């Protein structure tokens, strides 16, 4: 372990010669910037292009903002329109419903009146025929008694005529035209009157 250090060292010359240092052989540490050649026309064109691009972008933003604003306002108007239309539809629906109810009631009244007018003559004739038959039955009962008292029948001329035409020609009856609506059989002991007016009153017709 105590070997001399000279065993591990190479032999060096006493005079060391350094290699010549040549700058030309070393790589440059920083690359040189390329030379930029820009003419005034090109510079003006680039400025113009930049302005046009900025203007286009600004216009696009403005158009986008206006379009968004327009869409919002249109949506708001549409909502307002739908609300107004719904309100109008409800009001008109109620108005039309009320008008329809009134029209149907008026139509029903007019139809009822028209039907009554058409049926009234038939009903009146049926009532008169029935009254005359009942009165004729009562008169026959009176005339069936040989000792019957004198008979007088009073009433309007049309009913008297109709009733008299239905009686035998040899029946002794005194017909008296009177200003009244009913036919009345009058004897010394009895008085029999028709109820034609009461019958017709159940089928009154408004003349309005």
Q: Which tens digit of pLDDT belongs to each residue from 52-93?
A: 888 888 888 898 888 888 888 888 888 888 888 888 888 888
Q: Which tens digit of pLDDT belongs to each residue from 117-139?
A: 777 777 778 888 888 888 888 88
If one counts every other C-beta atom within 10 angstroms of the C-beta of residue 128, the result is: 19
Q: What is the residue extent of each domain of the chain?
A: 120-201
Query: Phi/psi at 150 (nearest 5 deg)?
Result: -60, 145
Instruction: Output the pLDDT for position 207.
Output: 41
Write out the two tokens for 136. 């004729």
Are residues 194 and 182 in contact, defined by beta-carbon separation less than 8 angstroms?
Answer: yes
Instruction: Output the pLDDT for position 25.
Output: 53
Q: Which tens digit of pLDDT belongs to each residue from 148-170?
A: 888 888 888 988 888 888 887 77
Query: Phi/psi at 151 (nearest 5 deg)?
Result: -115, 130
Ranges of H-type helices in the chain: 40-143, 157-165, 196-201
pTM value is 0.41
């Amino acid at each position: 372990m105590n070997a001399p250090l000279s065993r591990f060292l190479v032999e060096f010359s006493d005079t060391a010669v350094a290699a010549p240092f040549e700058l030309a052989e070393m790589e440059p540490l920083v690359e040189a910037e390329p030379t930029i050649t820009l003419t005034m026309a090109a510079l003006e064109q680039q400025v113009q292009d930049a302005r046009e691009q900025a203007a286009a972008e600004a216009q696009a933003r403005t158009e986008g903002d206006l379009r968004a604003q327009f869409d919002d306002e249109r949506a708001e108007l549409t909502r307002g329109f739908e609300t107004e239309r719904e309100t109008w539809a409800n009001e008109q629906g109620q108005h039309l419903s009320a008008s329809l109810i009134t029209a149907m009631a008026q139509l029903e009244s007019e139809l009822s009146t028209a039907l009554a007018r058409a049926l009234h003559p038939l009903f009146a004739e049926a009532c008169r025929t029935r009254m005359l038959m009942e009165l004729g039955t009562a008169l026959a009962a009176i005339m069936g008694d040989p000792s019957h008292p004198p008979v007088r029948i009073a009433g309007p001329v049309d009913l008297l005529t109709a009733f008299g035409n239905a009686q035998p020609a040899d029946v002794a009856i005194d017909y008296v035209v009177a200003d009244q609506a009913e036919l009345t059989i009058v004897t010394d002991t009895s008085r029999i009157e028709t109820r034609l007016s009461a019958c017709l009153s159940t089928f009154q017709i408004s003349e309005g």
